[in-house]
Amino acid sequence: MGTDTIAAIATALTNAGLGIIRLSGQTAIETADKIVRLKCGKPVSACGSHTIHYGFVKEGERTVDEVMVALMKAPNSYTREDTVEINCHGGVLVMQQILGLLLKNGARPAEPGEFTKRAFLNGRIDLAQAESVMDVIQAQNDFALKASMDQLKGKVSDTIRKLREEILYELAYIESALDDPEHYELDQYGSRLLQKTEHSLEAIRRLLLNAENGFVLKEGIHTVIVGKPNSGKSSLLNALTGTDRAIVTDIAGTTRDAIEEQIRLNGISLHVTDTAGIRMTDDEVERIGVERAKEYIEKSDLVIYVVDASVPLDRDDLEIAERIRDRNVIVLLNKSDLDAVVTREDITEILDQTVLTVSAKYGEGIEQLEHTVEELFFHDRIRCNDEVFITNERHKASLRNAEKSLCMVKQSIADGMPEDFYTIDLMDAYRELGSVIGEEVADDLVNEIFSKFCMGK
């Protein structure tokens, strides 16, 4: 990493109560001394590390702002470099003026993610931890935040490092045995290596299995509400959001286009789309809405099929059932407050899926729907275990490659290949696992990862 000093506005570039300008690098404290006048009369450089001081930012004799200045000296800072954070009033103009003064006095503008990149390159965090920083910032629900914080604290990294240590031991043993066969025994070694490989594969496959949960945690569940007109889809959306987001009337076909909402159920994010009622129609506008509803079904993770249980099923229900048959579906027998003419058995005859009874109008059965969504998408109840969750597509791809390499080791053992053949695929697995934590990655990949970070982080 270069020895130059970088600066950036670390808070959102919008008017707010407070703003933070961050400065990091070899001359960070010297640069701060040029524009900050502390009330105590001392320069910033004379203050102790991890202290905060009251003062003013000055341009000559002009006072730019009243500030609090935090000082963190290397190596005990986020970047392991000298770091100064100027806490000022949160006006866009004042933040830009302070940043401009820092740039005029020796700093350069930080690139997106460059503070975290320096933390990585200076050995404070590994690449998996660095990537989790943005995951924490972008977390949309409780589970995603917990998974990101676990990764930031090193939970994923610790698991990966343990796997790499086990593989490295076997690589070293094979090399030692080939170089010094008198002191290292290779008879029956294949059987022992097979057991070790199976153990590593089991751990990797558990991570990959949890990755399916992890991506749902991070991205949310893309959910589409479908049903015939006037079945209660809009009432359901309103019940889920707790607002009158969708227009509800007794007139069939009120919803002509999709309505999208972000909803949290038990800490899980749902990207919910309420669609036009699906039915045969001559109304051109309504027909377009119906076609769009069908397109949303194809892109969804979950379909909530709302059935008006107070009226008989008809050919439109049969068409809907056929269209959603191969998807994750929860069927809601709605309007339980009215006399039912459609039963659970009627639904299961046309569609073998989970069926719940609800009254969207009065909010009855919504809690059961929440639990059903959780059970449908997660292999175990996430809140009740302490598993490691993979939420990054790059990590998942590397784990897949490591799994393939270890399977090749198993095949070599089964084929009775010489021991030096084992090392080829063991080393490939070792490298793939290393790429997760940044020990086996090219500079261009590192640059690409950090280019996606927000400015000032």
Rounded Cα gap, residues 351 and 56, in angstroms: 70
In the predicted model, residues of the chain with pLDDT beneath 70 are 1-2, 212-218, 242-258, 266-267, 276-291, 293, 378-387
Rounded Cα gap, residues 94 and 448, in angstroms: 31
Tokens encoding 296: 């949303």
According to the model, what pLDDT value does residue 397 have? 93
Task: DSSP letter for 308, please.
Answer: E
Tens-place pLDDT, residues 89-123:
999 999 999 999 999 999 999 999 999 999 999 99
Cβ pair 314, 362 in contact under 8 A: no
Tens-place pLDDT, residues 132-148:
888 888 777 777 777 78
According to the model, what pLDDT value does residue 44 have? 96
For the chain, report the end-to-end CA distance as a whole number of angstroms. Answer: 16
According to the model, what pLDDT value does residue 361 have? 83
Tokens encoding 228: 């015939």
Q: Domains in the chain and their CATH numbers? A: 6-125 (3.30.1360.120), 130-215+392-438 (1.20.120.430), 220-382 (3.40.50.300)
Rounded Cα gap, residues 344 and 214, in angstroms: 33
According to the model, what pLDDT value does residue 250 have? 41
According to the model, what pLDDT value does residue 57 have? 97
Cβ pair 110, 457 in contact under 8 A: no
- Which of left, alpha, beta for 332 (phi over 0: left; psi -120 to 50: alpha)? beta
Q: For the stretch 251-270, what's the b/e string if a residue is b when 16 or more beta carbons lie within 10 angstroms of its beta carbon?
A: eebbbeebbebebbbebbbb
Closest CA to 263 of 273, 255, 254: 273
Closest CA to 152 of 430, 352, 389: 389
Specify which residues 260 forms β-bridges with.
273
Rounded Cα gap, residues 446 and 438, in angstroms: 8
Residue-wise DSSP of 443-455? HHHHHHHHHTSPT
The Cα angle at residue 188 between residues 187 and 192, in degrees rounded to 5 = 130
Pairing of strands 16-24, 51-59: unpaired
SS3 324: helix
Specify which residues 262 forms β-bridges with.
271
- Which of left, alpha, beta for 416 (phi over 0: left; psi -120 to 50: alpha)? left
SS3 278: coil
Rounded Cα gap, residues 378 and 268, in angstroms: 11
- Residues 6 or more apart in contact with residue 216 via CB below 8 angstroms: 268, 301, 377, 378
Tens-place pLDDT, residues 182-201:
777 777 888 889 999 999 99
Strands ordered across the beta sheet of 16-24: 36-38, 51-59, 62-72, 83-90, 16-24, 6-9, 108-109
SS3 126: coil
Place of tokens 């959910």: 223
According to the model, what pLDDT value does residue 288 have? 60
The Cα angle at residue 317 between residues 311 and 323, in degrees rounded to 5 = 160
* Length, in residues, of the chain: 457
- Residues 6 or more apart in contact with residue 165 via CB below 8 angstroms: none
In this structure, which amino acid lies at residue 117? K
| CA-to-CA separations, 36 to 27, 49, 83, 87, 430, in angstroms, rounded | 14, 16, 14, 12, 49
Tens-place pLDDT, residues 414-424:
998 888 889 99
